[in-house]
Amino acid sequence: MVFNTGSTLLDAIVLAVVSKDSEGTYGYKITQDVREVIELSESTLYPVLRRLQKDECLTTYDRECAGRNRRYYQITEKGSAQLQLYKTEWISYSTKITSVFEGGITHE
């Protein structure tokens, strides 16, 4: 992708991905799901997850998987509210950008 993905948009995408599963999901799966829309490395993802957890948008719990603990991330009420705000802002923002691309803004 030629456009830079800022931290706010990355937060929004991660919250959207995590919100799809009420039981929560784990880091590798989140990385794979996010990669369906933008290029992302695991080294980029984990600081985002930690920031969202610190901001109380995500909570974590561990579950055993094949003899090892796997950390799961779940969206919180605060995270759901933040995601809703991001969605509303994204619709407004993307509509304006699309309008510019389609020649909708003219100054005479």
What is the residue type of 28? Answer: Y
Q: Is the pLDDT of residue 108 over 60?
A: no
Q: Which fold has domain 7-95?
A: Arc Repressor Mutant, subunit A (1.10.10)
Per-domain boundaries in the chain: 7-95
Q: Which pLDDT score is estimated for 43?
A: 87
**Three-state SS annotation for the chain:** CCCCCCHHHHHHHHHHHHHCCCCCEEHHHHHHHHCCCCCCCHHHHHHHHHHHHHCCCEEEEEEEECCEEEEEEEECHHHHHHHHHHHHHHHHHHHHHHHHHCCCCCCC
How many whole angstroms separate alpha carbon 82 and alpha carbon 31? 20
Q: Is the pLDDT of residue 7 over 60?
A: yes
Supply the pTM of this predicted model.
0.87
The string of pLDDT tens digits covering residues 74-103 is 999 999 999 999 999 999 999 999 999 998
Q: Is the pLDDT of residue 23 over 70?
A: yes
